[in-house]
Structure 1
Amino acid sequence: MSKGIYKLPEIKNEPVKSYAPGSPERQALKQKLVELNKGGLDIPMIIDGKEVRTGNLYDICPPHDHQRLLGHYHQGDKTHVQMAIDAALKAKPAWEAMHWESRAAIFLKAAELIAGPYRYDFNAVTMIGQSKNA
């Protein structure tokens, strides 16, 4: 283990956005909701960093409106589960050997992306998945 002194970023909650009528954040969220509600999503599995499309498609619909088709996801079977397990086991030694600072940086970057450029994507898919409106 390294005996260095590390400076962690200040831990603080994201500022709460108001989403008040007419606010920029509400407009951005509504735009993303319109985009997602158009449908046409095709969601593959990601196994070992590669997109896997099985052709075994299942509908994605909001819980309150089963007639509205948002898209499809590709359902896997036990062979895909085994492929995912094998890929995880293959990646495990590299992840374990990586310094904790680098692993932490990956999670900090993910948090930065979710709070930044992908905020409205995450908010919109969560709202649709829980039948919420803006």
Structure 2
Amino acid sequence: MKFLIAVVLTITLAHASLAEEALDMAVITQKFDEMKSKVTEELNKLINTQDLGSQAQTFLEEQKKQFEPMMTKVLEDLKAAATNAQEQFEPMTSNFQAQIQPMVQQAQLQIEAFVKQMMDRTKALAN
């Protein structure tokens, strides 16, 4: 009888162990399914993000095409304004140069005279 109880107890424990292993396999399978779902979800996000990147690139290219004519016009207007300003300022700068030139020449003569005077004084001190 003891032998029969020992056998039943052993079979019961073995059955419980197998049931636990089956439960562990169910948990492991569930974890693998969760991981598979998460990986699939992350890949979908990545693909969608890349898709958004290409959409953003397309949007920027379209905007560039829309703004190019306007920017060309703005640049032409700026060039015309710069040319107009140059035409207006050129006589004023020429006039200013004509007025300042005698003053620059006079200052140059004074500096040369000052340098000559210093050189003469240096020579006199050296003798």
Q: TM-score, normalised by structure 1?
A: 0.19
- The structure richer in strand per residue is 1
Larger Rg belongs to: 2
- The structure richer in helix per residue is 2
